Structure 1
Amino acid sequence: MQSIRDHLEIILSRLANRAADEKVFTKLYAEAARAAADASDARARASVTLGPLDGTIVSIKDLFDVAGEATTAGSLMRRTAAPALRDAAIVSRLRQAGAVIIGKTNMTEFAFTAIGDNMHYGTPGNAVDASRIPGGSSSGAGVSVGEGTSDISIGSDTGGSIRIPAALNGVVGFKPTARRVPLTGAYPLSATLDSIGPLGLSVAACAVADAVMAGEEPPPLHLPLPLDGLRVGVPRGLLFEDTESDVGVAFDRSLAGIERKGARLVDISIDDFIADMRAATKRGSIAAMEGAEIHADWLATGASVPVDPHVSGPLSRAAMLPAPAYIRALRRRGALVAAMDERLTAVDVLALPTTPVTAPTIGSMAEDAELRDRVEGLLLRNTQVANQFDLCAISLPMPDMALPAGLMLVARNGRDRNLLRIAAEVERLLVG
């Protein structure tokens, strides 16, 4: 059986061979990872384990604090920031569980935008086709798991930043209920909407990492949660518009398989809530308004180094909005969250495509600003519902697709463990 150290060395060798053109990772912790791998192997020889994550190769998004170094969050501006005094809460928990932290993965600047490009550190090519976008903002995370340079990658999700790259790179991505996993030591975008979650090759891998980060026991995925009688809500309407035919066909095929296993498909309309949320955030999104407060100083004085205009533009516009616009949006969101929760009592999960499109080419996004804006809107449209309405959600790769796309399952606030058990059963069906 391969040792953890051997597994790590194979990955480090791959990364060394492309070091001159590395865009997936922004930092490697080769020596610290070797020490952690050796410690895990020694525990295994002594028949001791720190739990199911022990010896797992984990990468972390470049917005989590690691003691002694600046947290750059995908930006040149943060290179000169004061070094972190301690590890982020989730980094500390991962280490205590025996995870081998190999490095930090690339991301879009300040975790803004869904395309996955970064003008400072390069754009990681999609794991399936390097000419295509990785999806963002956890771009390197999605590619790293998809290409096998980490077993699990930890990202953040404010509007879909875990699930979009998971879907486009053909891996599993889990967005937990916000605030279940501590945000301490994670560079923020939106205190209201941010959540921290894993990307992995299976639901089980994500469930283990999520449990460690949340300080919980993993859900009992070995006890199948039968799909027979499960109520699956399909919110056709706004969230299904402009869906690529390949994505639509794969989604319908997945649904048919779930239905054959005895699940009950239920038409459920949430278009009224989506329209209300769009109206409430028309002047500025909650993420942009909260992000504008975080970045208020340089937005007021001008940045000392270049900032991606796709990031600085929306933040600058949001910074101009009066405080009542923000307070009103938050208050309206509170009412809509409660109303959505009430409506979702009629189903166990919602099912919809994670993204209505597959990954376009990096070149097409750079060449056509109008197309880029349209694609970004489509990439965020379905995933952001879970953040806006304070839900939990997971993206599973749909089988038999030329380019990857995801099946997204969404559950009510706090139903994370149940969602993971349902997702594990759906995964068995899709993979089988």
Structure 2
Amino acid sequence: MMDKERRAILQAGAIGAAMAGVNSFLPHAFASTSGNSMHDRSITDLSRSLSEGKTTSRQLVDDALAAINDPNGEGKPSFIKVHAEKAKLAADAIDAKRKQGHKLPVLAGIPISVKDLFDEAGETTLGGSTVLIGQPAATKDSVVVQRLREAGAIIIGRTNTVEFAYTGLGINPHYGTPNNVFDRATGRIPGGSTSGGAISVADGMAAGAIGTDTGGSLRIPAALNGLVGFKPTQRRVTLDGVMPLSTSFDSAGPIGWTVEDCILLDSVIADQKLAAPKSLALKDLRFAVPKVYFQNDLSPEVANAFHAALSKLSAAGAEIVELPMAEFEMTPTINPKGMITASEAYAWHRKFLKDGADKYDPRVLARIKTGETILAADYVDLQTLRRQFIRNVNAAAAGYDAMLMPTTPDVAPPIADVIKDDETYYRINGRMLRNPSAVNIFDGCALSVPCHEAGNAPVGLMIAGVQNQDQHILAVGRSIESVVGPSRGR
């Protein structure tokens, strides 16, 4: 890595590290967020406080902006653009309607962040890059943003991402890398690619975040920061007005403090009538736990947390069935070295590579350019293999309420370790993507919920289902989180 790039990334976390000298571990956000009205509070809780007059939307927005602007916080590397004045005006309008007695949706007046891949009218969607600076601004909102606005959500700003969403680590040499919520003194990766979105929630800069997931980009940062992330079945949420990475695997979804947060946000962006998931008793649920692939070479922290979570679920009455599920051994052969992803990414980027290749993050550029030499026949063959893989996984998963596996095989490593050389960067990136990307490959849906002990490095438990099982997986996740999740002391 070039010294210039290393300095830029390390500088992004320098302030946070300096302020954390007394404690090497801060369990969620900086102490300065302790009075933040959104930190560690669910959207339902905030909405109730609004409807009962205990707070106002303007107060929530002011608290979000204070957290974003906190010089000791992670606001600068978490956001590409902050909509401060627009958010205040929107909050005041919502508060006025509430005072007039209008019946408002659950999300009305709640600050939400959106990843810098979603079009907003009047804004240039940069995808965390400098390549697109100077390109025309979007003429209309993406459908997802439009639906959020119609539900009364306040878009607080556009969050940072890995350049063009093309890794699972969260590193961005152009706009900085926000520090993971755990062990701020060390400065650990936030996970990616929805890095800024996760930290915006973890640090009380937004009550929820909307991002994308092509190979784990919602679930990885959620898992590494003790949050909940949901990747829906791909075609369930429209990607109209969303910058693509891979049209075969891209999906859009939420990050929040709770499964319920994700249910609320998902219902809005998927344009589905909100219905509280039925209460599911764990004693009536049957879970498949694949022994192969997902449990290979786990770090001790992840292995311990995962097996402890399984034990807790079993003690609560759930049926835990550990079985080989050898179908998953084929996972690396369906998208070998990211060939499908790279092919589709190169098709979109080639027009910008002609004159702007030098503006790309070199590590992202290398992955995109892989697609330049992939033959159309090889691409077609891989898509054929994928269709058979989907059929095989669907058959193997039949009869189970969900499949359970660790979201990632490792906890968040230090940023300095990740960026020290290309070999380390790509190796760690591959490990972070390994488990969650399998769900994108079999076109499924999945939640990541925290399953670590309070005070330990965050670990995610992935609750996965096949395509179109979204509502069931969300209901299952709601039952699971109360059993396996760490107490947050509220």
TM-score class normalised by the smaller sequence = over 0.9
Does residue 179 (structure 1) correspond to residue 235 (structure 2)? The answer is yes
Show the 5 A alignment for 1:98-113: 98-113=152-167
1:411 maps to 465
Structure 2 CA distance for partners of 1:20 and 1:374, relative to 1, 3 Å: closer
Whole-angstrom distance in 2 between the partners of 1:253 and 1:20 = 32
Q: Which amino acid aligns with 1:147?
A: D
Whether the aligned pair in 1 keeps the contact of 2:229 and 2:256 (CA below 8 Å) is yes
1:381 maps to 434
Whether the aligned pair in 1 keeps the contact of 2:452 and 2:460 (CA below 8 Å) is no
Does residue 315 (structure 1) correspond to residue 371 (structure 2)? The answer is no
Whole-angstrom distance in 2 between the partners of 1:21 and 1:172 = 20
Q: Which amino acid aligns with 1:140?
A: G
The structural deviation recorded for 1:391 is 0.4
Whether the aligned pair in 1 keeps the contact of 2:239 and 2:252 (CA below 8 Å) is yes
Structure 2 CA distance for partners of 1:313 and 1:304, relative to 1, 3 Å: closer
Structure 2 CA distance for partners of 1:99 and 1:109, relative to 1, 3 Å: same
The structural deviation recorded for 1:324 is 0.6
2:270 maps to 214
Whole-angstrom distance in 2 between the partners of 1:280 and 1:206 = 29
Q: Which amino acid aligns with 2:286?
A: R
Whether the aligned pair in 1 keeps the contact of 2:293 and 2:329 (CA below 8 Å) is no
1:235 maps to 290
The structural deviation recorded for 1:430 is 2.7
Whether the aligned pair in 2 keeps the contact of 1:124 and 1:143 (CA below 8 Å) is yes
* Structure 1 range deviating more: 111-120 or 248-257: 248-257
Show the 5 A alignment for 1:275-424: 275-282=329-336, 284-299=338-353, 301-303=354-356, 305-400=358-453, 401-424=455-478
Give the SS at the match of 2:97: helix
1:254 to 309, 319, 322: 309
| 1:161-216 Cα distance to aligned partner (Å, 9 max, x none) | 00000001110000000010010000000111100000000111110000000110
The structural deviation recorded for 1:283 is 6.0
Structure 2 CA distance for partners of 1:302 and 1:278, relative to 1, 3 Å: farther
Whether the aligned pair in 1 keeps the contact of 2:67 and 2:204 (CA below 8 Å) is no
Task: Report the aligned-residue RMSD.
Answer: 1.7
Give the SS at the match of 1:294: helix
Whether the aligned pair in 1 keeps the contact of 2:124 and 2:136 (CA below 8 Å) is yes
1:24 to 65, 68, 78: 78
Whether the aligned pair in 2 keeps the contact of 1:207 and 1:219 (CA below 8 Å) is no
1:160 maps to 216
Structure 2 CA distance for partners of 1:286 and 1:219, relative to 1, 3 Å: farther
The structural deviation recorded for 1:129 is 3.0
The structural deviation recorded for 1:21 is 7.4
Task: Tell me the TM-score normalised to structure 2 length.
Answer: 0.85
1:80 to 131, 134, 138: 134
1:119 maps to 173
Whole-angstrom distance in 1 between the partners of 2:389 and 2:124 = 38
The structural deviation recorded for 1:305 is 4.3
Whether the aligned pair in 1 keeps the contact of 2:131 and 2:352 (CA below 8 Å) is no
Whole-angstrom distance in 2 between the partners of 1:73 and 1:197 = 16
Whether the aligned pair in 1 keeps the contact of 2:442 and 2:466 (CA below 8 Å) is no
- How much identity, in percent, do the aligned residues show? 37
The structural deviation recorded for 1:75 is 0.8
Whether the aligned pair in 1 keeps the contact of 2:171 and 2:192 (CA below 8 Å) is yes
2:324 maps to 269
Does residue 199 (structure 1) correspond to residue 255 (structure 2)? The answer is yes
The structural deviation recorded for 1:342 is 1.4
The structural deviation recorded for 1:279 is 2.3
Whether the aligned pair in 2 keeps the contact of 1:128 and 1:146 (CA below 8 Å) is no
Give the SS at the match of 2:155: strand
Give the SS at the match of 2:446: strand
The structural deviation recorded for 1:335 is 1.4
Give the SS at the match of 2:359: coil
Structure 2 CA distance for partners of 1:60 and 1:20, relative to 1, 3 Å: closer
The structural deviation recorded for 1:284 is 4.4
Q: Which amino acid aligns with 1:168?
A: L
Whole-angstrom distance in 2 between the partners of 1:122 and 1:188 = 22
Structure 2: which 5+ residue stretches go unaligned?
Answer: 1-53
Alignment coverage as a number of residue pairs: 429
1:65 maps to 119
Structure 1: which 5+ residue stretches go unaligned?
Answer: none
Whether the aligned pair in 2 keeps the contact of 1:61 and 1:104 (CA below 8 Å) is yes
Whether the aligned pair in 2 keeps the contact of 1:277 and 1:333 (CA below 8 Å) is no
Q: Which amino acid aligns with 1:412?
A: V
Whether the aligned pair in 2 keeps the contact of 1:113 and 1:310 (CA below 8 Å) is no
Structure 2 CA distance for partners of 1:324 and 1:276, relative to 1, 3 Å: same
